[in-house]
Amino acid sequence: MKERCQVSGFRCQVLKLSRHDGRLVLLHRTLTGLPPLILVILALVAPAEVFGQKAASSKIELKTTSFTPGGFIPKRFTCEAANVSPALAWTDPPLGTQSFAIIEDDPDAPSGTFVHWVVYDLPAAYRKLPEALSGNDLMPDGGRQGINDFSRTGYSGPCPPPGRPHRYFIRLYALDAIPNLRPAATRKELDAAMQGHILAQAELMGRFQR
């Protein structure tokens, strides 16, 4: 339904809206006679907020209590001790998130980037993973662990050759889809499945040397 209105002496028509999936959807708008500057301001403001609804944030934060980000990773989480996965937690993801994925790798490995952990199909309701996850492929509530570059399923911690410290990156991805990959998928397969589906990502980095 259209109605006439006045905006600072200019003619316009009230926005025609419908409700779809709990959101207001703009169906039609015409504005006549508005100066170019006002049109630019409307173009910048309208996508962020429509009748009080603010745009969803695309940011997400990843945290751990297992080591200090940027610092050295305790031996408990490496091949020199228990070799268990670290505890992880993260903030609320963007709207539309359907699943999470996690990849840990070492870009300083002599043979090139070495993959230590692949996790995918984590439910959107998840906000943390406990320390010392089992190495099983299938996780509670449908999450899966892929195969790493040690040819093992699940987590295998830092195990660099003697020498300078290596950096270990843990990256969290919020996805707008569920990859539904085969059991024990590889990092390459996960990377391909995530193409075009990443809403937000966050990372942690820790160091280790032997």
Write out residues in the chain with pLDDT < 50, as ranges.
1-32, 34, 38-56
CA triple 58-64-65, angle to 5 deg? 150
Cα–Cα distance for residue pair 50/27, rounded to 1 Å? 13
Task: Enumerate the domain spans of the chain.
Answer: 4-54, 62-208
pLDDT value, residue 83 = 97
pLDDT value, residue 66 = 98
pLDDT value, residue 20 = 42
pLDDT value, residue 57 = 53
Residue-wise burial string across 126-142, b where 16 or more C-beta atoms lie within 10 A, e elsewhere? beebeeebeeebebeee
pLDDT value, residue 141 = 77
Architecture of domain 62-208: Alpha-Beta Complex (3.90)
Q: What is the pTM of this model?
A: 0.74
Cα–Cα distance for residue pair 101/118, rounded to 1 Å? 8
pLDDT value, residue 35 = 57
pLDDT value, residue 73 = 98
pLDDT value, residue 142 = 82
pLDDT value, residue 36 = 54
pLDDT value, residue 85 = 97
In this predicted model, what pLDDT tens digit does every residue of 9-26 receive, in sequence order? Answer: 434 444 343 444 444 333
